[in-house]
Amino acid sequence: MATVYSAGDFRNGTTFEMDGNVYRIVEFQHVKPGKGSAFVRTKIKNVINGNVIEKTFNPSEKFPAAEIEKKEMQYLYEDSGLYYFMDNETYEQIPLNKEQLGDSLKFLKENMNVKLLSYKGNVFSIELPISVDFVVKYTEPGFAGNTTTTSGKPATLENGYELTVPMFINIGDTIRVDTRTGEYMERV
């Protein structure tokens, strides 16, 4: 029996079929107005053509889950705007572009294992590990007396990604980043 989602069960990353297309939830918000019935406001991405639309659903609407194939692959390198991934079993290489990778590109590292997500043979995205370790390439030095503040400071990582880190982080430190939120997790 195929899985069926009700709109009230939508979460980021949920993939479902609607009107002959396959969509992935990019953003969702359950709204319960003072008057009237509740609804689910979403941003959904068509996984085949990449279009993102905003749509409102009744929480009781039902949609079949899309059968998404996941294949473990290793990221090799970037060349002329194409990012090459290798099948760990067959050694076949598959190039993907920036549109297919989306925000995942910020956390991609050479030799990293990821899961390629495809629908009926069309790769539309990758799934990263939950956390990735990066070396801090640049950040302002922290100064004495400013170690207890919760505000943090900006830091640039080895891949060019910028985020806020605690004051005690220095250039050359290796930190762990949450790929779901893009935020600092811990010093490694």
Domain of 183, CATH number, reads 2.40.50.140
Domain of residue 157 covers: 132-187
**Backbone CA torsion sign across 4, 45, 110, 156:** negative
Whether residue 7 is predicted with pLDDT greater than 60 in this model: the reply is yes
- Domain check: are 9 and 58 in the same one? yes
- Tell me the C-alpha distance between 154 and 138, whole Å: 9
- End-of-domain residue from the set 95, 111, 127: 127
Number of domains comprising the chain: 3
Whether residue 112 is predicted with pLDDT greater than 80 in this model: the reply is yes
CA 17 to chain centre: 20
Domain CATH for 9: 2.30.30.30
What does the buried/exposed string (b/e) look like for 155-171 if buried means 16 or more CB atoms within 10 Å of the residue's CB? bebebebebebbbebee
Place 149 in a pLDDT band, splitting at 50, 70 and 90.
low
- Tell me the C-alpha distance between 172 and 137, whole Å: 6
- Domain check: are 32 and 77 in the same one? no
Query: What's the pLDDT tens digit per position in 155-174?
Result: 999 988 999 999 999 999 99
- Which helix (H) or strand (E) segment holds residue 156: the answer is strand 153-157
SS3 label, residue 168: coil
- Which helix (H) or strand (E) segment holds residue 125: the answer is strand 122-127
Residue 50's pLDDT is 76
pTM: 0.72
- Tell me the C-alpha distance between 99 and 101, whole Å: 5
Query: What's the pLDDT tens digit per position in 44-101?
Result: 988 877 788 999 999 999 999 988 889 999 999 999 999 999 998 999 999 999 888 8
Pick the closest to residue 50 from 115, 100, 122, 106 (CA basis): 100
Distance (Å) of CA 66 to CA 13, 25, 26, 119: 12, 12, 15, 8
> Of 13-17, 107-111, 184-188, which gets the smallest average pLDDT?
13-17
Q: What is the mean pLDDT of residues 30-47?
A: 89
- Domain check: are 111 and 142 in the same one? no
